[in-house]
Amino acid sequence: MRILFIGFGNVAKETARILTEKELYPKLDLVPTVIGVFTQRHGGVENTNGLDLRSVLRSLKEKNTLVCEDEQLSSLTPLEAAQILDYDVLVELSALSISEHGEPASSYIHAALERGKSVVSANKGPVAFNYHKLKKLADEKGVKYLFESAVMDGAPVFNLVRRCMKGSTIKGFSGILNGTTNYILSYMENGGTFEEGVKQAQLAGIAEADPTMDTDGWDPAAKTAAFANVLMDADINPFDVERKGISQITPEMCKDALKRGKRLKLICRAQTIDGKIKASVKVEEVDKDDVMALISHFGAAIRIESDLMHPNTIIQDRPDLLDTAYGVIEDLISISDKSVC
């Protein structure tokens, strides 16, 4: 399997680390050849015979450049690399951009699918903005477009519904899908301020320098749209999601709820009402004996409702880069293994 990476931030580096330390993981049976690594900021390197991933990782770490022993910077842009190079699977791990409606990631993915190449992406943007178009193209070309890590860092949700709940109709879901806001709400319950909570989340490496994507609810809205589009066959984007962030929530409100045996949680929700899918992201009071109340810090959870089962909830304990990278690897395994849809 010949792989092209576009985007080589923390998730990609962790993915590469796992692939170069395969001996640590007895069941991991995947020997890909990485023929290119392209980034927006550091340029790209390519080698049709396969890059030495260890050298690339070392060079990035020690010299902050992709240029390493035998490799010089490529003259191609990431999009050109997707359009021109000889690979089997594009691993698309560029940054999410809500304001750009999933671009440039969607264009990279489109370019690969158009050429009949499968795509693995950890990017929620294209799933939130362009899912049906990209999926249709993948189906037409007979290739796969997989994105398990786009929401809930690789916890099996998209793949679970696709492979293990084929006969049921998903009627709705609810969940906690954004670690930063969940952390800040917990922090305020314990007496801290909103600003301090943001700062602590930044120190933990979870919140961005500009935290408003999280605190204004854009990130969870994108995740809600992604889940709704894939699990419920909705055709919405993050702008269609009724969205209220947590910036109006005060420590007093959190503590007051706690006194009444409740917790304030930013709940992502989608439901089919009169044949239409309604999606929302807003702070809800959650009862203390609802499992959602126990999702603290950077955990995540989704409760799935369907016509042929009582609700099933998947909870992820304190996921980090390992989980996101594993989601990418699991999708790669699904592409290499023809017995998995």
Catalytic (active-site) positions: 223
Q: Per CB under 8 A, which of residues 115..144 are in contact with a copy of itself? A: none
Sequence-ordered strand ranges (E) for the chain: 2-6, 33-38, 44-46, 89-92, 118-121, 145-146, 170-176, 242-243, 262-273, 276-287, 300-306, 312-316
Collect contacts of 26-34 with beta carbons under 8 A, ≥24 apart: 28/329, 29/333, 30/1, 30/329, 30/332, 30/333, 30/336, 31/1, 32/1, 32/2, 32/3, 32/89, 32/332, 33/1, 33/2, 33/3, 34/3, 34/4, 34/5
Which of 73, 84, 95, 164: binder of a copy of itself (CB under 8 A)? 164
Residue 282 CB partners (closer than 8 Å, separation 6+): 217, 242, 243, 244, 266, 267
| Distance in Å, CB of 332 to a copy of itself, minimum | 8
Pick one of 10, 72, 169, 190: the residue that binds a copy of itself (CB under 8 A). 169
Among residues 84 and 294, whose Cβ is nearest to a copy of itself? 294
Q: Is 316 in the site for a copy of itself (CB under 8 A)?
A: yes
Number of residues that bind a copy of itself (CB under 8 A): 52
User: Site for a copy of itself (CB under 8 A): which residue of 142, 167, 205, 275?
Assistant: 167
Residue at token pair 């930063």: 180
Residue 290 interacting with a copy of itself (CB under 8 A):
yes
Stretch that binds a copy of itself, among 36-44, 76-84, 164-172, 220-228 (CB under 8 A): 164-172
204 lines the binding site for a copy of itself (CB under 8 A): no
Site string for a copy of itself, 23-62 (x = CB under 8 A): -xxxxxxx--------------------------------
Q: How far is the CB of 156 from a copy of itself (least distance, A)?
A: 4
Q: Is the previous residue joined to 126 through a cis bond, with omega within 30 degrees of 0?
A: no
Q: Where do the DSSP E strands lie in 62-131?
A: 89-92, 118-121
Range in contact with a copy of itself (rule: CB under 8 A) among 43-51, 70-78, 176-184, 285-293: 285-293
Nearer of residues 54 and 162 to a copy of itself, judged by Cβ: 162
Please report, to the nearest 10 degrees, the dihedral formed by the alpha carbons of residues 248, 249, 251, 254 taken in order.
160
Q: Which residues bind a copy of itself (CB under 8 A)?
A: 18, 24-30, 148, 154-156, 159-160, 163-169, 289-291, 294, 296, 303, 307-320, 322-323, 326, 329-330, 333-334, 337, 339-341
